[in-house]
Amino acid sequence: SSMRTESASTMQQAEAAREAVKASEARLEASRTELARMEAAKQGAANKMKYGEAEVASLKREVAEQRKKSNLWLERVSLLTTESVSARQQLTEAQKVIDGQAQENKERLEAALSELAKMEAAKQSALEAARQREAEVKALRQQLSEQKQASNLWLNMASGLTTESAALKDNLRKSEETAEVE
């Protein structure tokens, strides 16, 4: 009777260990899914950063071209100023336009640089989250391995108890038969 109780208890413990292994496997799969999602987010952030870098380079070229145009305007207007008062007015207007364009380009460049910094921060955040997920997956794999070992140990113990119980029943039956014969 105590053998049956121990055997039932051992079976329950083995079942509990199997359930724990299943739960760990489910958590491991969820972590793998999350890790894949984080990798996709990291790739998206990297793509946005590349796009931002290209836009910044384009804006820098545009600013350089505007400076060249500004210099040309200044030279042309400078010649006109020496010729007439109206030329001075044109110079003033041209300078305002050039300054406005330069300011606008500067603001666009600053906005692009700010966006690039945000994308870099998002990329770093995604990389850190991916590192954390990898550490969680590693810990879950270790836990799963330990639980599988514990489950196998319980199964071996239960198997040994079952074999021992069968042998005891056989010996008891033989003893009863011997007692009846005598």
pLDDT in tens, 12-50: 888 888 898 898 889 999 989 999 999 998 898 888 888
Q: How far apart are the first and last CA of the chain?
A: 27
| 11 and 165 Cβ atoms separated by less than 8 Å | no
User: Which tens digit of pLDDT belongs to each residue from 43-94?
Assistant: 988 888 888 788 888 888 988 898 898 888 888 767 766 676 676 677 788 8
The residue range of the domain holding 156 is 12-166
The answer to whether residue 138 sits within a structural domain is yes
149/39 Cα distance (integer angstroms): 32
The answer to whether residue 6 sits within a structural domain is no
The answer to whether residue 180 sits within a structural domain is no
Total domain count for the chain?
A: 1
The answer to whether residue 54 sits within a structural domain is yes
177/60 Cα distance (integer angstroms): 103
The answer to whether residue 5 sits within a structural domain is no
When pLDDT is cut at 50, 70 and 90, the band that residue 168 belongs to is: confident
The answer to whether residue 97 sits within a structural domain is yes
The answer to whether residue 171 sits within a structural domain is no
The answer to whether residue 52 sits within a structural domain is yes
Lookup result for tokens 């014969």 = 181
- CATH code of the domain covering residue 143: 1.10.287.1700
Q: In Å, how far are 41, 69, 123, 128 from 35, measured between CA atoms?
A: 10, 51, 14, 11
Q: What is the pTM of this model?
A: 0.35
Local structure of 154: helix, strand or coil:
helix
User: Which tens digit of pLDDT belongs to each residue from 103-136?
Assistant: 998 999 899 899 999 999 999 998 998 899 999 9
